[in-house]
Amino acid sequence: MKEANMAPPVDLGVLLRAEPQEDASRREDGLCVVGVFGKSSTQTGALKEALLNTLADKHIFSLFGSEEGDSSDSHVQALYDQENRVLYLLLSSVCDSRQLLRACRSLSAGISHVDAHDLWKGLDRQHCLQLLYMFSVCHVLLLVHPSQTFDVTYDRLFRALDALRQKVLPLIRAAIKDCAVSKEWKLNCRPCPPRLLFVFQMNATLKVPGNGSDSGGNPEKPKKHSPRRRLQHALEDQIYRIFRKSRVLTNQSSNCLFTVPANQAFVYVIPAADQDPVGALLGQLRSNCVLSDQDPAPVLTGPRRYQQMRRSARQPSSSRESGGPMGGQLVDCSLKEFLWQHVELVLTKKGFDDSVGRNPQPSHFELPTFTKWVQLASRLYQVLITNTDEELAELATKVQSQVKVLDGFLDADTKFSENRCQKALPLAHSAYQSNLPHNYTTTVHKNQLAQALRVYSQHARGVAFQRYAVQLHEDCYKFWSNGHQLCEERSLTDQHCVHKFHLLPQPGEKPDLDHNPPIMNHNSRGRSTSACNCGRKQAPRDDPFDTQAANHDFYQILEEKCCGKLERIDFPVFQPSTPDPAPASDRAQRPPSETSADGERPKEPSAAHSHTPGDASLSLALSLGQSTDSLGAYADADPADGPVQPKRPSLVDRQPSTVEYLPGMTHSACPKGLLPKFSSWSLLKLGPAKSYNCHTGLEQPGFLPGSSFLLPWDLVIRSRSEEDAGPAEPLDGGTASWPAPNKNPVGKRGGAGPGRSRRRDDAARAFVGFEYEDGRGRRFISSGPDKIVKALGPGGAKDPASRVLNADMPLYVPSPAQGRGLKPHFAQLARLFVVVPDAPLEITLNPQVQPGAPPCPIFHPEQTEVTLPNDGFWVLRFPYSYATERGPCFPPKENQPLSNYKVLRGVLRASTANPPQ
């Protein structure tokens, strides 16, 4: 039967915004609202759309669906049957196969498990709000399920919706307080407790047994109900018991989310499709022909039409009831008859009386007109679904904040994951705290945290894994930082402080252990023995943590007891001109290489110590990567070869800054024109040259037996009568001076002796000693890069000093007396002893130290070159530790080669002094 007066299905939002188009004669008639929701199978046909086509008796919805305009979000479609005064609301969500497929396609391939779970739960929450809206505006609801078994997950869903409804009920009342509806509707926020009906679809594989087997083997005894009706009754009993057990249904219907009738059928099972489509078509044709012959009456509308349709449907089955094998069975009603018996109660304004118990309370009921219903449904639509109205925006925001009550009911995966992860957290905490010292470093903390995460990952599961892993990170960090964090500061010898996290005392402030965090100085519990500047007194020292304590303060304390009155050559230091000087900012950017015109040294490692030929105030024999042979032309320049270039102003001649000081030590990469507040070097005079006895050696404590003798350094002084060399010619016979052709070097056998030479040459002897000192105070003089002085007799050392002066001396060497432990001990270059004879000589001191592999800078004193006065026994004390503005240069480890730590060759350079005029 075709209904002429039926509008096509539209989106509910469009229907609520559009002007109502109704006949003036029927504008005051009541409206019954029927909601349809549920799930669909994976088959091509859409079950809910097919049911609406059956109820409307018209092909309105396409059974194959349309891809255009659809999305994976939930949406409600409205179908208004104006003739019968019924408005159908169809809810589509991810429970439908087509919507589920679109949602899966929208997920990207690289989305994480947690993000995908959040997406699905967001769709579930949206679906719940849509359902709450339908339970608030509908009189009757149809739950459609694609199988003949009840899905128990609906019990959890309805309990969640009931809890959400109780939470948002005050907000809905505030939204509809101005609508023209009854007080009961405003109080309960719905026209009546909606009646929920269930529609199941029988599986095609389910076979109904024959009459003989169904009657227990007695074909003579017929059954009163058909198998399908018995299935419906069994489902009704099962559903009612489940909802009563979970208290979704109670005695008072007004307090429930929905009701089910007590004396009417609320479950309908759609029979399976016939396997013989031709026979099914013939049966439908036969039934239509019978209806047209026996029912020539005119078409009626409303409730009378429903009664007539019900009578006409039973007439053709009367012949089967009178004679046939199934004569005792009652006739099964159609889907439209099943629904219309409930719709008739709404349209006749009788309402639903579904309360049970001893004292049932009548529930409220109201049949609104289409205009009133649209007014109220529009406001609820703004509050619960769209949130586009500015007036109701605050209420909609509050409703969204209450949706979290759904998580405990709907998100069982998250609840299980949280419980599992909460049980795994104590196990992970125990793994973190196992075998932990009371205070420990960041490295130990990270290692224990990694172990705790491994234990946690073995037990934790689900979507809450990442969230509780972050909590494990935070808990372990709080445990570590709450009194268990070890001080991370490392000493200049690469040993960490043993105290827990603390603050350093400010100048003039005393340590305070009760302060939180405590105020104290660093301490690594490492102690060593070192000698003073001159080497004549040894004392224990703590492991230093800053350069001033390592290179200045310790020696200043010993100077008051030992060498404070000795003659010295002071290196320039920072002299402030303001009461509050500041350290220089990080201006150590490497400038481009200067040209030879300004006389400054470039800072590139390959040319860090090359100088211009005219700069005589800087060292000429200490170019990194160049031998002294290549610089001999500059050192032995002959005045006859050409005019000497005038000396250009060098860096050391410039006026240093008196406002900013250098925070570290002077080295090749530090900013120019800055000086440190203290000098890390020391140059003292122990006495005249004769104070050193070459037969007894250095009479100082800590030296190994036979290793306290300085190396002789024989220098040749030529007479002024025969000047065939420049005044700055090297006299030590080293590699920087080449012998004349066909002439033997001086001092070699077969050469011209002093008595047989035409030239009167004088010889002078200086003494040089590189002293090494280990952490236990054991000292020795080195006669080569890998050799210790061994003087067995009273004659002193026999090895010449040319070997140590013409080679790069190591800064660290293995200590000759190793301890019992496996860790090797190193001895560090501590002092340089130089005995300058009383002779016309100029011995220039120019130490250059490289305490690490490149690009480690070259360290030097604040005055790069110092000329030692004659007739003196001088000692140069090297720094105990080397550090730049960016941090210290640590001593070598066990696996690091010692050849990277060295003192560059050319520490001493000798030349003839100009005779007095």
420 and 466, same domain (yes or no): yes
Asked if the model's pLDDT at residue 181 lies above 80, the reply is: yes
433 and 381, same domain (yes or no): no
What pLDDT band is residue 738 in, cutting at 50, 70 and 90? very low
**What is the reported pLDDT for 444?**
92
Give the SS3 label for residue 145. strand
Question: Phi first, then psi: what are they for 256, rounded to 5°?
Answer: -95, 160
Q: Does a structural domain hold residue 127?
A: yes
What number of other Cβ atoms are within 10 A of residue 82's Cβ?
18
380 and 477, same domain (yes or no): no
Average pLDDT in the 236-260 region? Answer: 91
894 burial type by CB count under 10 A (0-12 exposed, 13-18 middle, 19+ buried):
exposed
807 and 896, same domain (yes or no): yes
Non-local (6+) Cβ contacts of 465 within 8 A are 114, 417, 421, 457
Q: Does a structural domain hold residue 348?
A: yes
**What is the reported pLDDT for 599?**
34
Does the pTM surpass 0.85? The reply is: no
DSSP-derived secondary structure for 19-53: PP---GGGTTS--EEEEEEE---SSSS-HHHHHHH
**What is the reported pLDDT for 227?**
83
Most confident residue range from 97-106, 740-749, 890-899: 890-899
DSSP-derived secondary structure for 325-370: TTTTPPPPPPHHHHHHHHHHHHHTT-------SSSPPPPP-----H
890 and 795, same domain (yes or no): yes
Question: Phi first, then psi: what are they for 835, rounded to 5°?
Answer: -105, 110
Average pLDDT in the 258-268 region? Answer: 90
Amino acid, single-letter form, for residue 91: L
Backbone CA torsion sign across 596, 601, 602, 605: positive
Question: Phi first, then psi: what are they for 910, rounded to 5°?
Answer: -115, 145
What would you report as the CA-atom Rg of the chain, rounded to the nearest whole angstrom?
52
Three-state SS sequence of 838-849? CCCEEEEECCCE
Question: Which region among 91-95, 314-318, 659-663, 795-799 has the lowest average model confidence (pLDDT)?
Answer: 314-318
The whole-angstrom separation of Cα 890 and Cα 896 is: 11
444 and 560, same domain (yes or no): no
Higher pLDDT, 604 or 818: 818
**What is the reported pLDDT for 633?**
31
Q: Does a structural domain hold residue 37?
A: yes
Asked if the model's pLDDT at residue 756 lies above 60, the reply is: no
Q: Does a structural domain hold residue 622?
A: no
What number of other Cβ atoms are within 10 A of residue 527's Cβ?
10
345 and 417, same domain (yes or no): no
Asked if the model's pLDDT at residue 759 lies above 60, the reply is: no
The whole-angstrom separation of Cα 569 and Cα 685 is: 8
The whole-angstrom separation of Cα 139 and Cα 294 is: 35
**What is the reported pLDDT for 586?**
55
Residue that finishes a domain, picked among 449, 481, 513: 481
Question: Which region among 124-133, 145-154, 315-324, 778-787 has the lowest average model confidence (pLDDT)?
Answer: 315-324
Most confident residue range from 256-265, 396-405, 645-654: 256-265
pLDDT tens digit sequence for 389-422:
777 888 888 888 888 778 777 778 888 899 999 9
461 and 531, same domain (yes or no): no
Q: Does a structural domain hold residue 239?
A: no
Residue that finishes a domain, picked among 481, 496, 512: 481
What pLDDT band is residue 684 in, cutting at 50, 70 and 90? very high
Asked if the model's pLDDT at residue 321 lies above 80, the reply is: no
Q: Does a structural domain hold residue 176?
A: yes
What pLDDT band is residue 876 in, cutting at 50, 70 and 90? very high
**What is the reported pLDDT for 67?**
46
**What is the reported pLDDT for 205?**
56
Q: Does a structural domain hold residue 224?
A: no
pLDDT tens digit sequence for 556-610:
999 888 888 899 999 999 888 888 788 876 544 443 333 333 333 333 333 333 3
Which residue intervals of 592-662 are DSSP H helices? 632-635
pLDDT tens digit sequence for 831-850:
999 999 988 888 999 999 99
pLDDT tens digit sequence for 596-625:
333 333 333 333 333 333 333 333 233 333
pLDDT tens digit sequence for 28-55:
788 899 999 988 776 655 677 778 888 8
The whole-angstrom separation of Cα 314 and Cα 372 is: 38
Which residue reads 């160049």 in tokens?
Answer: 626
Structure tokens at 222: 């017929």
Structure tokens at 645: 């270039």
> How does the average pLDDT of the chain come out, rounded?
77
Q: Residue 121 is inside which H or E element, if any?
A: helix 113-137
pLDDT tens digit sequence for 329-340:
456 788 888 899
Amino acid, single-letter form, for residue 592: P
What pLDDT band is residue 683 in, cutting at 50, 70 and 90? very high
Q: What percent of the chain has pLDDT over 90?
A: 22
Indicate the number of domains in the chain. Answer: 3
The whole-angstrom separation of Cα 48 and Cα 63 is: 9
What pLDDT band is residue 660 in, cutting at 50, 70 and 90? confident
188 and 263, same domain (yes or no): yes
Average pLDDT in the 181-202 region? Answer: 89
**What is the reported pLDDT for 640?**
38
The whole-angstrom separation of Cα 812 and Cα 881 is: 12
Average pLDDT in the 302-312 region? Answer: 51
What pLDDT band is residue 284 in, cutting at 50, 70 and 90? confident
Asked if the model's pLDDT at residue 233 lies above 80, the reply is: yes
769 and 837, same domain (yes or no): yes
Asked if the model's pLDDT at residue 851 lies above 70, the reply is: yes
What pLDDT band is residue 727 in, cutting at 50, 70 and 90? very low
pLDDT tens digit sequence for 339-374:
998 999 989 888 888 788 777 777 888 888 888 898
Q: Which of 15, 37, 197 is nearest to 131 (CA)?
A: 37
Which residues are registered as beta bridge partners of 788?
A: 782
**What is the reported pLDDT for 617?**
33
| Domain range enclosing 460 | 406-481
Which residues are registered as beta bridge partners of 490?
A: 496
Chain centre distance of CA 159 = 39
Higher pLDDT, 293 or 91: 91
Which residues are registered as beta bridge partners of 317?
A: none
264 and 127, same domain (yes or no): yes
**What is the reported pLDDT for 81?**
84
What pLDDT band is residue 63 in, cutting at 50, 70 and 90? low
Asked if the model's pLDDT at residue 120 lies above 80, the reply is: no
Q: Does a structural domain hold residue 857?
A: yes
Q: Residue 655 is inside which H or E element, if any?
A: none
449 and 346, same domain (yes or no): no
Asked if the model's pLDDT at residue 277 lies above 50, the reply is: yes
**What is the reported pLDDT for 463?**
86
Question: Phi first, then psi: what are they for 481, rounded to 5°?
Answer: -80, -15
pLDDT tens digit sequence for 520-547:
888 888 888 999 999 999 999 998 988 8
Cβ pair 161, 132 in contact under 8 A: yes
